[in-house]
Structure 1
Amino acid sequence: MGATGWPGPARHSAVDAALTTGSVARRLGVAPTTLRSWERRYGIGPAHREHGRHRRWTPVDVVRVEEMCRLTALGVPPAEAARVALREAATEARVPRARQHSDPGALPLGNVRQECRGLARAAVRLDAPAVEAQLRSTLADHGVTVAWEEVMAPALHAIGRKWASSGERYVEVEHLLSWHVSSALRRPWGAAPEAGGDAPVLLACVPAEQHTLPLEALTAVLGERGVPTRMFGAALPAEALYEAVRRIGPSAVVLWAHSRNTADRALVHLVTSAEWGVRGARTHPTVLVAGPGWSPRPGPHAPGAERLTGLRAAADRIGSLFPD
């Protein structure tokens, strides 16, 4: 479920300058109201204010609250977690950062957006409301493409790697995050009206392929652009796919395969050969294959099929089928 498929851009390093409460909340995957409550109750918060009484968090402030989040995620009561965080930060402000590299529970995120770090931390805590809030704000602020490439996909990758190296420990984290990402992608975030009268794009996973999230991300990006789509999801049987193509008469068919074991070139040939329309004016679909399961070229026995690489490039290529 959590495989991401589309390659993403280079990552941005986290901001180390003084941050607002909202920025710290996004980085840590907690609500701003939670940070303000911890400050009032336990004295763990930014030490300085700017003109106008705006709170600004320094790196030392963030270290303290990071430790607070880590301890509460382990089940330590908030009051005790705050005392420990304040005591450790007072002796060595960089202790929590050093611990992050040796803590077996830390996720291998690398240099990512603060929203990605916050999303991953909320998922590890199984804090569903925080996960949903983080996804909602990221999609609203940045749109689907950036949200997927720079926040959702890196978090899913990190949790998947942690799952692979930790046995079954992170299965529940991966499932929770995948479900919320899927739900968020299906909401009409900034969706434009579909182009009237245009034949839609049919998107489906090949038979036996269960990894749908990258295809859901592409569907959401196309929705932002007003491209009409018909999404069929996971493991659509070959006969059903062929029938859907003939009934819909799509402008294009996108076939997703995450694994080489599921990438079926005979299916590509079948879909490419589908036709509809009156005799003498038959129409065939543009067939596009996507996902790491396909080799760079579909092969000579699948004429007309084109491989898509990258979410942005895929959306641009499909969008070119719908000139203004």
Structure 2
Amino acid sequence: MEPDPSQPQDQPRPQPQSQPEPPSVGLGTGAVARRLGVSPTTLRSWERRYAIGPDRREAGRHRLWSPADIARLELMCRLTAQGAPPAEAARVARGAPTDGPAAPAAPTPGGPRELRLGDVRPECRGLARAAVRLDAPAVEDLLASVLADLGPVTAWEEVIAPTLHAVGRKWASAGERYVEVEHMLSWYVSAALHRIRPASQPLPAPPVLLACTPGELHSLPMEALAAALGERALPVRMFGAALPADALCEAVRRTGPRAVVLWAQSRTTADAALARAVAGIEWGPRGARGHSALLLAGPGWGAGAAAPPARAERLFGLRSGLAVIESVVAPRAQGTAAGRAAPASCGS
């Protein structure tokens, strides 16, 4: 029988539409690398060589690492830091449960060689882990990231200097067995600081002269200061480690700096006689002679050191030291500069 067109017909019931799958919850490769203190290249190498990549892949999307994936990577980091070959560490990590408590045999990454850092930023822990593993690409990537994200002052005070101090403490307790970590980390910190480009138009002011005392080889704090001054458009002349006394005095006469910052890491290199000589140098044409402000930086000038000149001023910490230098070199710019801060524990 033909259906009557005047009567309502049964309409097809709408079919339930399939709901789109919720987006995957996870972290990108770069974020995981920063969290673990390895380079993204290392993660991709582990995935290619040892099949320790993310469980799920979606077409057209970047890798997303789930909490279970990251737990396996953390275990692999711990095992390799303890000396296990990467292939064996990956085999154990792939077979380890990821939904239960951490295995007691695998404590904090770094194992017996871990650095004791205390309450620090996550970036500091990542840098320390990478340094302990001698993972140079990761160290380089992490330093570039924190310097770009935080700027040289915060990166130095809250990430770089605490890690360097922890390495130094570990080296003091472990002897020459640990010096390779300090050397590698110091080299990459120096290289990262040197890559910071100064402001394109420095202030029209006499420069700040930065130098270490003769015999002083620890120049990293001065390199951080040079990077921070350059970023703030303050003109700098950096002379680095172990500048001979005669060369320092000649440089002061030739450049006529507004300030001279003299670094000494220890009392054995804190040369009070040299400080007095620098403080007494006059420069400029006759009738318009000038003096440089002498700023003493570093723990070597502390208690027990020979008395420096009365005109010298101590610097304590990178941030507060910058405020002092700015007040000397560019006093009119203090409206845009940070005021004097409390001495920082990990600066100059």
Q: What TM-score comes out, normalization by structure 2 length?
A: 0.77
CA distances 1:244-300 after superposition (whole Å, capped 9, x unpaired) = 111110010000011112112222211111001233321000110011111279887
Contact 1:256 1:291 in 2 (8 A): yes
Contact 2:113 2:132 in 1 (8 A): no
Question: What is the alpha-carbon distance in structure 2 between the residues aligned to residue 30 and residue 176 of structure 1?
Answer: 15
Question: What is the alpha-carbon distance in structure 2 between the residues aligned to residue 83 and residue 91 of structure 1?
Answer: 18
Change (3 A) 1:78 1:98: closer
- 1:132 pairs, out of 124, 140, 143, with 140
Give yes or no for the alignment of 1:167 onto 2:161. no
Question: What is the alpha-carbon distance in structure 1 between the residues aligned to residue 218 and residue 146 of structure 2?
Answer: 23
Shift of 1:87: 3.6
CA distances 1:29-68 after superposition (whole Å, capped 9, x unpaired) = 223354356457756466789xx9783643x654421221
Question: What is the alpha-carbon distance in structure 2 between the residues aligned to residue 106 and residue 158 of structure 1?
Answer: 10
Question: What is the alpha-carbon distance in structure 2 between the residues aligned to residue 175 and residue 30 of structure 1?
Answer: 18
Q: Give the alignment of 1:170-185 within 5 angstroms.
A: 170-185=178-193
Shift of 1:89: 3.9
Change (3 A) 1:291 1:180: same
Q: Give the alignment of 1:1-324 within 5 angstroms.
A: 20-35=28-43, 38=46, 44=52, 55=64, 57-58=66-67, 61-73=69-81, 76-90=84-98, 92-95=100-103, 99-100=107-108, 103-187=111-195, 189=196, 191-295=198-302, 302-320=309-327, 321-322=329-330, 323-324=332-333
Change (3 A) 1:110 1:33: same
Specify which structure has the bigger relative contact order, considering alpha-carbon pairs within 8 angstroms and separated by 6 or more residues: 1
Shift of 1:130: 2.0
**Larger Rg over CA atoms:** 2
Question: What is the alpha-carbon distance in structure 1 between the residues aligned to residue 41 and residue 256 of structure 2?
Answer: 51
The code of the aligned residue for 1:231 comes to: M
Question: What is the alpha-carbon distance in structure 2 between the residues aligned to residue 296 and residue 277 of structure 1?
Answer: 35
Shift of 1:70: 2.8
Contact 1:254 1:290 in 2 (8 A): yes
Partner SS, residue 101 of structure 2 = coil
Change (3 A) 1:226 1:298: farther
Contact 1:44 1:86 in 2 (8 A): yes
Higher alpha-carbon deviation: 36-45 or 177-186: 36-45
Question: What is the alpha-carbon distance in structure 2 between the residues aligned to residue 81 and residue 101 of structure 1?
Answer: 13
Contact 1:200 1:228 in 2 (8 A): yes
Query: Which structure 1 residue ranges, 5 or more long, are not aligned?
Result: 1-17
Shift of 1:210: 1.1
Shift of 1:23: 2.6
Shift of 1:197: 3.6
The code of the aligned residue for 1:222 comes to: L
Shift of 1:76: 3.9
Contact 2:146 2:155 in 1 (8 A): yes
Question: What is the alpha-carbon distance in structure 1 between the residues aligned to residue 314 and residue 150 of structure 2?
Answer: 27
Question: What is the alpha-carbon distance in structure 2 between the residues aligned to residue 96 and residue 139 of structure 1?
Answer: 35
Percent of residue pairs bearing the same amino acid type: 62
Partner SS, residue 153 of structure 1 = helix
Change (3 A) 1:93 1:195: same
Change (3 A) 1:57 1:275: farther
Shift of 1:97: 8.6
The code of the aligned residue for 1:64 comes to: R
Contact 2:208 2:237 in 1 (8 A): yes
Question: What is the alpha-carbon distance in structure 2 between the residues aligned to residue 74 and residue 298 of structure 1?
Answer: 42
Question: What is the alpha-carbon distance in structure 1 between the residues aligned to residue 121 and residue 108 of structure 2?
Answer: 17
Q: Which position in structure 2 is the counterpart of 1:13?
A: none
Shift of 1:301: 6.0
Partner SS, residue 80 of structure 2 = helix
The code of the aligned residue for 1:234 comes to: A
Partner SS, residue 154 of structure 2 = helix
